[in-house]
Amino acid sequence: MTVSEPSTCNYHFQFSTPYVCHPHSMLVYPTLPDHLQREWDALEGELSRELITEKGYNKMLRKIFEKAGYYLSPDAQDQISKQALDGELQVEKEKRGEFDTLLKCTEEYEKLRKELDQAKATIEQKDQQLAENVGHERNEMDWHDIMTEKTIQICPLTPQKK
């Protein structure tokens, strides 16, 4: 590890280790099974003898990588895309309330029933709180009304005719 300060309060750290930055750490060839290494060797030979074009070489190399599991084949990509699309469509159906099976419909019904019970409990709790608050305000209002009535009786705003 080396540290330098090229300018005031500007530091430059350099950290290196052979365990992380090995020169061959990103090579694919050594990780391939022997039979795929032989296919790649044959492919390199065909390219060097100009029996195949660069484009053909890249296509065949991709197939080797697909066999090794480094790339997904177009069929696998299509299958994964179809599964993702089907999943999205299923979610949209469920949002609209459409279900493919009775079991799924029953599950969703139970979820809605629980939500409804929770909503009812919340409303009842709010109603009780409101009733308590209104009762307290009513007691204050009664006292205010009594005071207002006495004030009106003692000091009427409009003169009374005799």
Looking at per-residue confidence, does 136 or 119 come out higher? 119
Nearest to 40 by CA among 70, 69, 62, 72: 62
Q: Are 28 and 65 in contact (CB under 8 A)?
A: yes
Q: Residue 31 has which token pair? A: 């990780």
Domain count, the chain: 1
Q: What is the pLDDT of residues 128-156, one digit of tens each?
A: 888 887 766 555 555 445 444 444 444 44
Within a domain: 154? no
Looking at per-residue confidence, does 117 or 140 come out higher? 117
Looking at per-residue confidence, does 160 or 87 come out higher? 87
Within a domain: 115? no
Within a domain: 90? no
Within a domain: 117? no
Nearest to 70 by CA among 115, 21, 31, 22: 31
Within a domain: 158? no
Within a domain: 159? no
Based on the number of CB atoms within 10 Å of its own CB, is 63 exposed (0-12), middle (13-18) or buried (19 or more)? Answer: middle
Q: Is the full-model pTM beyond 0.85? A: no
Q: What are phi and psi of 51, to 5 degrees?
A: -80, -20
Q: Residue 39 has which token pair? A: 């296919």
Q: How far is the first Cα of the chain from the last one, in angstroms, to the nearest whole number?
A: 107
- The pLDDT of residue 19 is 56
Within a domain: 15? yes
Q: Which of 61-65, 89-93, 100-104, 129-133 has the highest mean pLDDT?
A: 61-65
> What's the Cα-to-Cα distance from 123 to each of 127, 136, 143, 162, rounded to whole Å?
6, 20, 30, 56
- The pLDDT of residue 119 is 92
Within a domain: 49? yes
| Region 101-106 average pLDDT | 83
Range of the domain at 24: 1-71
